[in-house]
Amino acid sequence: MVDLVSNARRWPDVEIQAQIVTNAYVGEKNAEELAKSRGQQLKEFLIQLGVKSQYIYVDTHLEESPYPQDNSGFNGYLQLSVGLMPLCKGGCERLCDDPRITPTSKAVK
């Protein structure tokens, strides 16, 4: 997480937006509170790393069944997910070819 935010902080002239998805399995004790707690803890950590609170969004879910096993051997319950995106004034197309941006992408029109 530290590396992800560190890379995002190199984005030129933008704010960082974070979208957090937290889950808990319905069979866990106090599942709803657990999912909310996971999101709040990650939000607080992102704030410590310099992401502004007003740009952090947390979405909580309760999972009823595990994810099926995939080719990597992973299966189980996804508990946390976070995505970092630039908040650009006037559009982010100017970032597409900037070597400071990792990973690189292309603007969707």
Residue 9 is predicted with a pLDDT of: 87
- pTM to 2 decimals? 0.76
Residue 108 is predicted with a pLDDT of: 45
Q: Which segments in the chain show pLDDT lower than 70?
A: 66-78, 96-97, 100-109
Domains delineated in the chain = 2-95 (3.30.1330.60)
- Exposed (0-12), middle (13-18) or buried (19+): which is 100, by Cβ within 10 Å? exposed
Residue 70 is predicted with a pLDDT of: 62
The SS3 of residue 43 is helix
Half-sphere exposure (CA, 13 Å, Cβ side) for 103? 3
pLDDT (tens digit, 9 = 90+) per residue, 27-57?
A: 888 989 999 999 999 999 999 999 999 999 9
| β pairing state of 80-87 and 15-25 | antiparallel
Asked whether the beta carbons of 37 and 24 are under 8 A apart, the reply is no
